[in-house]
């Protein structure tokens, strides 16, 4: 009897199981189509959430541009909730640029980035120009790599948790390129490479850009994948009538929207449930938090407006009303684990001898646990090193652990840089620079700089970098200076002179925030005119003279910003030994100059900071020449002459004694995002002998100012008073100091 019952059960299972399997296979397949639209594509996230709530299974996903990004991430398991959180926490201003975090830059790169307002690349060949775009999309590409960890190898997109495809355009022949396999992050990056904004993605003989120009709503692609039912989410703007095209942005936006209309009507006709999102008032660049929130809400509203249509699809699909699809996500990627065991680290595109140095620089070790934050920081370090124009990575899973490979492209950039400044003393100054990385046996760089204004100058720098961050620099500079010298707030005289500098120096960055340098310097001062205003100094006689000096200097800087920093410290020290024949000065022992400064930003609250500092300069020896005398004045070091020290309440150049020491404290309050109020107090001592400095003249100064961190550089307005001048002062500046 038991045997008969068992045989009956086995027979029933054998009959019913194929039937059940057959019924599952017979249901119609559902494809979801996500259109391109830049920031407007944020609406896809909440629309997908509604489709899930309706109990609709998703068998295929096809997308273009932002639709490719959202679709690709959804296909590997990201839930709408995860996508929502990811989108909201991003700094889109930073992502949509090629900027490198300041903390990852070398000190040299920081200084360069905080001097020029405009930096324009120039190319040598048409090929180089064709690869161009305003941005390389490095930060976005790195984000895609982070979000798609576990899918860095070339794979078949049909094997993803949800089969996926995305569209790009090959501008070589204008053809549509459908990614059904490859590296997922590369496919997403190619699909959103907006022409003129991002550099194209080069693959084989193809030059790939945003797929929106050939197929912005790829319902036909979803059909070709095997979808029987199409649900489409469209975030394209409707074309504007003539009376709405009243500005250049309106016209450019209309051109983009017209371009995206290719195949649109045909693909809409393939769609069973069409979710058209109202994106009026928003553009592809609407990445503000408020815009993202609104677009997501509108995406959900548009999907819920099609709720009855979604439910009706269930019968057509062949599933019951209470059907519950297989749970989607959450994506439990390495990105969420955040730490992986790495057995091997390699660097593609660099010399083998550089690997050890790069490992040390990036603080990475083989056969150790490495966090994704460390990998991200390493990318910024590599891009901030001046040596590489791009840096990305791949992770390959092996039985022993992961293999981490950095893909680096050596930097051979050619750029024209422009700086401009307006101030109440010199009115206007212009800085022009051309810099080119040279393909020499030893990596090298040539830089030509010209300054136009009341004081004009020309400079040439040639830099050799045999080892990364270890430089040998050869420089020559000519300056014409026209300077007013003040005494106790009154103009004493005016001097004009020509200045020649030839310098050979060596610098080494021991750590990203620390730089050491030494070298040999030749200086020649050729004085032309002295125009006196004070009769008592009319007998001042200054001869033209030259100096041969040896110098050493160190700098440590951790400021988070070059101007108006919110945290960090800065320390500088320099020593120079001056001669006129390499061994002596005026037939006796050489004299020397020692300078040092320290400042630290101490945040008290998120907006308020206290900035204490101490700085000074000492001349050691005898027969100190006129051109190297200590001076104070202005708000920044070296405003008129290199040895000039800032002092609150003193706007102009005041000469001081052989020794000067100054302490300062600033109280800075940030107002809004870019506005600052600053109160500064200075106390100083100056005397002929350092060891008797406490007997010297006391200096007091105070100033109050407003500052703004503008796109043209800092805007500063300050009012001050000092006992050195015994009168009030006012100074206005717009632009980076140079």
Report which of 387, 87, 63, 26 is spatially closest to residue 212, judged by C-alpha positions: 63
Find the CATH number of the domain harbouring 143: 3.40.1090.10
- Regarding whether 294 and 163 lie in a shared domain, the answer is yes
Report which of 578, 686, 566, 698 is spatially closest to residue 631, judged by C-alpha positions: 686
- Regarding whether 404 and 303 lie in a shared domain, the answer is no
Q: Which SS3 state, helix, strand or coil, does residue 337 take?
A: helix
Distance CA 599, CA 192 (A): 44
Residue 2 lies in a domain: no
- Regarding whether 281 and 152 lie in a shared domain, the answer is yes
Residue 104 lies in a domain: no
Asked if 42 and 217 touch (Cβ cutoff 8 Å), the reply is no
Q: If residue 191 lies in a helix (H) or strand (E), which one and from where to where?
A: helix 184-191
Asked if 116 and 389 touch (Cβ cutoff 8 Å), the reply is no
Q: List 433's β-bridge partners, or say none.
A: 417, 449
SS (H, E, C) 573-637: EEEEEEECCCCCECCECCEEEEEEEEEEEEECCCCEEEEEEEEEEEEECCCCCHHHCCEECCCCC
- Regarding whether 700 and 614 lie in a shared domain, the answer is yes
pLDDT in tens, 315-352: 999 999 888 888 888 887 655 557 888 999 888 877 66
Residue 637 lies in a domain: yes
Report which of 664, 663, 645, 661 is spatially closest to residue 653, judged by C-alpha positions: 645
- Regarding whether 86 and 195 lie in a shared domain, the answer is yes
For residue 258, the model assigns a pLDDT of 67
Distance CA 248, CA 260 (A): 19
Distance CA 429, CA 735 (A): 10
What token pair was written down for 232?
A: 């489409």
Domain end marker among 410, 428, 456: 410
- Regarding whether 199 and 152 lie in a shared domain, the answer is yes
What is the per-residue DSSP string for 698-733? EEEEEEEEEEEEETTEEEEEEEEEETTTTEEEEEEE
- To the nearest 10 degrees (0 to 180), the angle between helices 66-75 and 80-89 is 130
- Regarding whether 559 and 600 lie in a shared domain, the answer is yes
Residue 113 lies in a domain: no
Distance CA 530, CA 491 (A): 12
What is the per-residue DSSP string for 211-271? GGGT-SS-HHHHHHHT-SEEEEEE-PPPPPPGGG--SHHHHHHHHHHHHTTTTHHHHHHT-
Q: Count up the domains in the chain and report the number.
A: 3
Domain that holds residue 367: 339-410
Q: How many other β-carbons are positioned within 10 Å of the β-carbon of residue 500?
A: 14
With 0-12 / 13-18 / 19 or more C-beta atoms within 10 angstroms meaning exposed / middle / buried, residue 120 is exposed
Q: Give the chain's residues under pLDDT 50.
A: 1-3, 5-6, 8-24, 125-133
Residue 126 lies in a domain: no
- Regarding whether 484 and 355 lie in a shared domain, the answer is no
Distance CA 231, CA 243 (A): 34
Distance CA 511, CA 360 (A): 10
Find the CATH number of the domain harbouring 666: 2.40.160.50
SS (H, E, C) 264-275: HHHHHHCCCEEE
In whole angstroms, how far apart are CA 198 and each of 208, 390, 393?
Answer: 11, 14, 19
For residue 126, the model assigns a pLDDT of 43
For residue 677, the model assigns a pLDDT of 97
Asked if 200 and 243 touch (Cβ cutoff 8 Å), the reply is no
Find the CATH number of the domain harbouring 388: 3.10.20.310
What token pair was written down for 249?
A: 């942005």
For residue 56, the model assigns a pLDDT of 94
pLDDT in tens, 21-38: 344 457 899 999 999 988
Tokens 């420089």 found at: 475
Domain end marker among 410, 433, 452: 410
Q: How many other β-carbons are positioned within 10 Å of the β-carbon of residue 278?
A: 16
Q: Cα dihedral sign for 666, 670, 674, 675?
A: negative
Residue 222 lies in a domain: yes
Active-site positions read: 65, 210
Distance CA 526, CA 542 (A): 10
Domain end marker among 317, 349, 382: 317
Q: Cα dihedral sign for 55, 61, 64, 65?
A: positive
Tokens 């996926």 found at: 164
Residue 22 lies in a domain: no
pLDDT in tens, 469-482: 788 999 999 999 99
Tokens 């707030």 found at: 489
pLDDT in tens, 365-402: 889 998 887 887 788 777 766 667 778 888 888 888 88
Asked if 82 and 235 touch (Cβ cutoff 8 Å), the reply is no
- Regarding whether 344 and 306 lie in a shared domain, the answer is no
Asked if 664 and 681 touch (Cβ cutoff 8 Å), the reply is yes
- Regarding whether 446 and 345 lie in a shared domain, the answer is no
- Regarding whether 463 and 437 lie in a shared domain, the answer is yes
- Identify each DSSP E strand in 332-376 by its residue range: 339-348, 368-371
Q: Which SS3 state, helix, strand or coil, does residue 487 take?
A: strand
What token pair was written down for 215?
A: 């197929």
List phi, psi (to 5°) of 595: -130, 150
Asked if 428 and 455 touch (Cβ cutoff 8 Å), the reply is no
- Regarding whether 656 and 535 lie in a shared domain, the answer is yes
Distance CA 345, CA 380 (A): 17
Distance CA 63, CA 216 (A): 8
Q: If residue 139 lies in a helix (H) or strand (E), which one and from where to where?
A: helix 138-147
Distance CA 639, CA 652 (A): 9
What is the per-residue DSSP string for 393-424? EEEEEETTEEEEEEEEEE---EEEEEEEEEET
Residue 465 lies in a domain: yes
Q: List 234's β-bridge partners, or say none.
A: 276
- How do beta strands 427-438 and 444-452 pair? antiparallel
What is the per-residue DSSP string for 529-558? EEEESSGGGTT-----EEEEEEEEEEEEE-
Asked if 144 and 189 touch (Cβ cutoff 8 Å), the reply is yes
């Amino acid at each position: 009897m038991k045997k008969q019952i068992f045989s009956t059960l086995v027979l029933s299972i054998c009959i019913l199981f194929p039937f059940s399997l057959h019924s599952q296979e017979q249901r119609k397949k559902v494809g979801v189509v996500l259109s391109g639209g830049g920031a407007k594509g944020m609406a896809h996230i909440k629309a997908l959430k509604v489709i899930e709530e309706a109990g609709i299974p998703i068998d295929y996903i096809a997308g273009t541009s932002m639709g490719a990004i959202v679709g690709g991430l959804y296909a590997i398991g990201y839930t709408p909730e995860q996508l929502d959180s990811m989108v909201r926490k991003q700094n889109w201003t930073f992502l949509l640029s090629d900027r490198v975090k300041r903390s990852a830059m070398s000190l040299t790169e920081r200084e360069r980035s905080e001097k020029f307002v405009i930096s324009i690349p120039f190319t040598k060949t048409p090929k180089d120009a064709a690869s161009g775009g305003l941005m390389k999309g490095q930060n976005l590409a790195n984000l895609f790599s982070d979000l798609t960890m576990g899918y860095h190898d070339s794979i078949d997109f049909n094997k993803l948790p949800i089969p996926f495809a995305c569209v790009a355009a090959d501008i070589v022949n204008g053809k549509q390129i459908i990614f059904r396999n490859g590296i997922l992050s590369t496919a997403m990056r190619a699909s959103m490479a907006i022409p003129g904004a991002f550099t194209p993605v080069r693959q084989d003989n193809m030059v790939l850009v945003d797929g929106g120009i050939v197929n912005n709503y790829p319902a036909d692609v979803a059909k070709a994948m095997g979808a029987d039912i199409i649900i489409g989410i469209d975030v394209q703007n409707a074309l504007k009538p003539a009376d709405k095209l009243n500005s250049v942005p309106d016209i450019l936006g209309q051109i983009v929207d017209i371009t995206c209309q290719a195949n649109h009507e045909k693909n809409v006709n393939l769609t069973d449930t069409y979710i058209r999102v109202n994106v009026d008032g928003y553009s592809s660049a609407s990445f503000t938090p408020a815009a993202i929130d609104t677009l997501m809400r509108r995406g959900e509203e548009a999907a819920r407006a099609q709720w009855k249509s979604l439910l009706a699809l269930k019968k057509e699909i062949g599933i019951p009303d209470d059907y519950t699809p297989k749970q989607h996500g959450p994506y439990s990627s390495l990105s969420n684990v955040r730490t992986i065991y790495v057995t091997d680290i390699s660097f593609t595109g660099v010399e083998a001898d550089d690997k050890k140095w790069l490992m040390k620089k990036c603080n990475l070790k083989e056969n150790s646990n490495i966090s994704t934050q460390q990998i991200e920081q390493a990318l910024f370090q590599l891009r901030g090193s001046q040596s590489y124009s791009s840096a990305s990575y791949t992770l390959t899973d092996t039985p022993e652990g992961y293999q981490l490979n950095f893909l680096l492209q050596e930097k051979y950039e050619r750029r024209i840089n422009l700086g401009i400044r307006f101030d109440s003393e010199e009115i206007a100054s212009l800085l022009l620079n051309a810099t080119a990385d040279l393909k020499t046996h030893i990596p090298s760089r040539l830089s030509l700089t010209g300054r136009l204004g009341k004081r004009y100058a020309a400079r040439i720098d040639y830099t050799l970098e045999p080892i990364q961050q270890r430089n040998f620099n050869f420089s020559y500079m000519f300056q014409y200076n026209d300077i007013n010298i003040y005494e106790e707030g009154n103009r004493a005289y005016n001097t004009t002179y020509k200045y020649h500098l030839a310098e050979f120096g060596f610098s080494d960055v021991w750590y990203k925030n620390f730089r050491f340098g030494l070298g040999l310097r030749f200086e020649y001062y050729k004085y032309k005119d002295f125009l006196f205003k004070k009769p008592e100094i009319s007998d001042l006689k200054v001869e033209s003279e030259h100096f041969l000096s040896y110098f050493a200097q160190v700098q440590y800087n951790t400021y988070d910003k070059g101007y108006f920093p919110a945290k960090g410290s800065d320390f500088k020290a320099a020593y120079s030994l001056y001669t006129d024949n390499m061994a002596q000065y005026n037939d006796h022992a050489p004299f020397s100059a020692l300078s040092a400064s320290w400042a630290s930003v101490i945040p008290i609250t998120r907006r308020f900071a206290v900035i204490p500092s101490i700085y000074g300069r000492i001349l050691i020896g005898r027969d100190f020449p006129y051109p190297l005398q200590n001076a104070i004045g202005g708000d920044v070091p070296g405003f008129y002459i290199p040895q000039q020290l800032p002092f609150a309440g003193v706007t102009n150049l005041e000469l001081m004694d052989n020794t000067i020491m100054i302490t300062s404290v600033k109280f800075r309050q940030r107002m809004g995002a870019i506005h600052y109020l600053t109160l500064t107090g200075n106390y100083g001592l100056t005397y002929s002998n350092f060891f008797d400095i406490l007997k010297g003249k006391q200096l007091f100064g105070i100033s109050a100012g407003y500052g703004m961190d503008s796109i043209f550089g800092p805007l500063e307005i300050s009012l001050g008073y000092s006992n050195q001048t015994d009168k009030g002062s006012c100074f206005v500046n717009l632009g980076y100091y140079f």
